[in-house]
Amino acid sequence: MFNTDFKNKEIIVRGERIGLGESKLIKIPVDRLPTGTLIEIPIYVFNGQELGPTILLQGGLHGDEINSIELVRRMLIDKSYKIHRGCVIVVPLLNIFGFLDFSREMHGKDVNRSFPGSRKGSLASRLAYYLMKEIIKNVDFAIDYHTGGAQRSNYAQIRYTPQDERGKLLSDIFNTPFKFGSKLIPKSFRNECFKNNIPVIVYEAGESLRLDEFAIQQGIYGTLRVLKHFKMIDSDVIIPENKKSIEIIKRSWLRAKAAGIFNAKIKNGSSVKKGEIIGFIMDTYGETKFPVKAPKDGYIITKNNFPVVNLGDPLFNIGS
């Protein structure tokens, strides 16, 4: 199912050549601050001694999604990328400007809605362009790490492109608590890679601007399962076992039917039964207490952590 015409005999990024058995840190200049300070994106390339698949591990496409950055960074620190076969290209932080501004965007534009990009476009568009031009040309498949946003926490989940059988297989190998097929979004990284016949799975866990240890560990374990499956790392690497991923077929948001202070009574990732009280919405003066009931059997795959809600605000994303 996966291509055996491997590309890692020589990896070329920004004119730098990395042969079999070599590793290199390459810094790609992207822009300068008004002060003249150069902003660079560090790209780590770990090329094994044997031919094998090349995988991109990418964090921080949205600058405020700190979990994704920490996950990739921790694997660098723990020397998890001891690659014997194939090649791993690691981008711990793609959207540096968003990271500095505590924002998912880069100078007001979403990089993940800017593909395929343009060499003469906005900074977000240029970053998308060079990511495709310099890195993706080397890649057989990719894992893109994300979190929930706007104080919404995603329970550890993998999203794949339904019409891509290789992406579905990768999601099975990654084996995090939940998985589901997700529609392609125009101008997104996953959509552009799909056009170029490169499978991408998206790991979503935790929320923006917060570290979540469970989400980080699940992401690391899933990544190691993929590397181990393709015999890229030592076979004796110990990875904690997970139960088989639960396949989510349908998802829908449970929205607030009143405004007030929201108090969830159930943990993210939990199973729920139709009619079960899973939270309350209370007014600020203690006069009303509106129960929030599960509309169907399923699992909480996303939870709103913001306590002040208005009518119609999303509270829980329930998958079944």
Q: What is the average per-residue pLDDT within 302-320?
A: 97
Residue 2 has a pLDDT of 74
Residue 55 has a pLDDT of 97
Cβ atoms of 126 and 106 closer than 8 Å: no
Spatial CA neighbour of 157 closest among 227, 245, 249, 97: 245
Structure tokens at 210: 């917060």
pLDDT band at 30 (very low <50, low <70, confident <90, very high): confident
Structure tokens at 137: 């040309």
pLDDT of 1 over the 80 cut: no
Topology of domain 10-229, CATH? Aminopeptidase (3.40.630)
Per-residue model confidence as pLDDT tens digits over 218-241 = 999 999 999 999 999 999 899 998
Residue 39 has a pLDDT of 82
Topology of domain 248-319, CATH? OB fold (Dihydrolipoamide Acetyltransferase, E2P) (2.40.50)
Residue 5 has a pLDDT of 83
Are 10-229 and 248-319 the same fold in CATH? no
Q: Where are the domains of the chain?
A: 10-229, 248-319
Residue 33 has a pLDDT of 79
Residue 293 has a pLDDT of 98
Cβ atoms of 111 and 127 closer than 8 Å: yes
SS in 3 state form for 93-142? CCCHHHHHCCCCCECCECHHHCCCCCCCCCHHHHHHHHHHHHHHHHCCEE
The Cα–Cα gap between 60 and 103 comes to 11
Q: How far does the chain reach from its first CA to its final CA, in angstroms?
A: 29
pLDDT of 315 over the 80 cut: yes
pLDDT of 286 over the 90 cut: no
Per-residue model confidence as pLDDT tens digits over 183-226 = 999 999 999 999 999 999 999 999 999 999 999 999 999 999 99
Cβ atoms of 132 and 116 closer than 8 Å: yes
- Residues pairing with 204 in the sheet: 146, 157
The model's pTM: 0.96
Residue 303 has a pLDDT of 98
pLDDT of 32 over the 90 cut: no
